């Protein structure tokens, strides 16, 4: 139980690993700006005013795909950059199991990938397989669960295969139209189905076949990704509130208001009936 409560991929109250790993860089950046008297520069974030209202299309139930992938890959970047050690497993090592026919350099384990490199890799997979933003969040949950359960680190030598395994599993569990392993072989070209099957099997075994993602855990990861975006100036897309969209929001608001009124009336009727029943029973008891 104690291990479960300290694991963010299982327990909603445990802090996500990626957010804590990013805070070191955020604090250093703020400290450096303060010492060097660096101005934050022109504000690029849009703010609502009396004349214009900006709304964010990204919600916990329907996240924006592009922004979510950017945040998830940034979380992976901080995992690699601020890793504790170089613990790994052979099944995820790119030298032992290359994803392409190109020869892997001997010093492949020394160079950390930058955020753009990770983003391009993940974006290519999501675009080709037509995966959803929700799948990206579940991918991050599985990734942190793997690192915790298997007690390994994501590093330059294994990050591609770990991310690929997490995406593969998340797409099968989350999306209605699952992408088969052979489909990923068509995207990556040089990887074999047998290799994909073996990696998926090891991934599941290391997760102890725990592929459940509670709604509370999913929501925590979503909002922590929003916090990560704010800390790193990765703003989610904001658009001015148009007349049509305002009318749509008003209609949805009225529909929800009517629904809750009906539920409230039904609850009051049930409570009134229960009170009458108690009163009748008490009267009968007194008469008897």
pLDDT per residue, tens digit, the chain (288 aa), is 445 567 899 999 899 999 999 988 777 766 666 566 555 544 455 666 666 666 666 678 788 899 999 999 999 999 999 999 999 999 999 999 988 888 888 888 889 999 999 999 999 999 999 999 999 999 999 999 999 999 999 999 999 999 999 999 999 998 766 778 888 888 888 899 999 999 999 999 999 999 999 999 999 999 999 999 988 888 766 667 677 777 777 787 788 888 878 887 777 777 666 556 556 565 565 555
In terms of Cα–Cα distance, which of 93, 170, 80 is closest to 131? 170
Query: Would you say 171 and 133 are in contact if contact means Cβ atoms under 8 Å apart?
Result: no
Q: What residues contact 98, with CB distance under 8 A and at least 6 apart?
A: 104, 190
CA dihedral for 148, 67, 116, 131, sign (positive or negative): positive
In DSSP terms, 55 is beta-bridged to 239
Confidence (pLDDT) at 243:
76
Residue 180: Cβ within 10 Å count: 14
Query: Would you say 94 and 108 are in contact if contact means Cβ atoms under 8 Å apart?
Result: yes
d(CA 74, CA 228): 8
Confidence (pLDDT) at 201:
96
Residue 115: Cβ within 10 Å count: 17
Q: Which residue do the tokens 């099944």 mark? A: 91
Three-state SS at 240:
strand
d(CA 9, CA 141): 5
Query: Would you say 158 and 164 are in contact if contact means Cβ atoms under 8 Å apart?
Result: no
Confidence (pLDDT) at 84:
92
Q: Where are the alpha helices (DSSP H) in 151-242?
A: 159-174, 181-188, 193-206, 215-231
Tokens of 131: 């995966």
Confidence (pLDDT) at 58:
67
pLDDT digits (tens, 9 = 90+) for 71-87: 999 999 999 999 999 99
Q: Measure CA 87 to chain center.
A: 24
Three-state SS at 55:
strand
Q: Where are the alpha helices (DSSP H) in the chain?
A: 2-5, 17-35, 65-81, 115-129, 133-150, 159-174, 181-188, 193-206, 215-231, 243-287
CA dihedral for 230, 233, 236, 239, sign (positive or negative): positive
What's the pTM?
0.77
Confidence (pLDDT) at 181:
87
């Amino acid at each position: 139980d104690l291990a479960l409560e300290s694991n963010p991929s299982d327990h909603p109250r445990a802090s996500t690993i990626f957010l804590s790993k990013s805070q070191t860089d955020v604090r250093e950046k703020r400290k450096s700006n303060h010492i060097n008297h660096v101005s934050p520069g022109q504000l690029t974030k849009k703010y609502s005013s009396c004349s214009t209202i900006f709304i964010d299309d990204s919600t916990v139930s329907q996240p924006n795909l592009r922004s979510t992938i950017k945040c998830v890959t940034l979380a992976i970047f901080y995992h690699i950059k601020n890793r504790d050690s170089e613990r790994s497993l052979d099944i995820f090592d790119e030298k032992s199991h290359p994803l392409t026919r190109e020869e892997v350099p001997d010093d492949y384990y020394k160079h950390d990938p930058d955020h753009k490199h990770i983003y391009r890799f993940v974006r290519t997979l999501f675009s080709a397989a037509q995966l959803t933003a929700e799948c990206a969040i579940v991918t991050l949950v599985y990734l942190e669960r793997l690192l915790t359960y298997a007690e390994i680190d994501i590093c330059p030598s294994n990050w591609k295969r770990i991310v690929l395994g997490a995406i593969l599993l998340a797409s099968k569990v989350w999306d209605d139209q699952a992408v088969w392993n052979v489909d990923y072989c068509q995207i990556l070209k040089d990887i074999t189905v047998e290799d994909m099957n073996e990696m998926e099997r090891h991934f599941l075994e290391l997760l102890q076949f725990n592929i459940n993602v509670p709604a509370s855990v999913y929501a925590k990861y979503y909002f922590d990704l929003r916090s990560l975006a704010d800390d790193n100036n990765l703003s989610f897309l904001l658009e001015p509130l148009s007349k049509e969209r305002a009318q749509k929001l008003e209609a949805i608001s009225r529909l929800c208001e009517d629904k809750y009124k009906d539920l409230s009336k039904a609850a009051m009727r049930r409570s009134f009936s229960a009170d009458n029943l108690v009163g009748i029973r008490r009267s009968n008891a007194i008469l008897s």
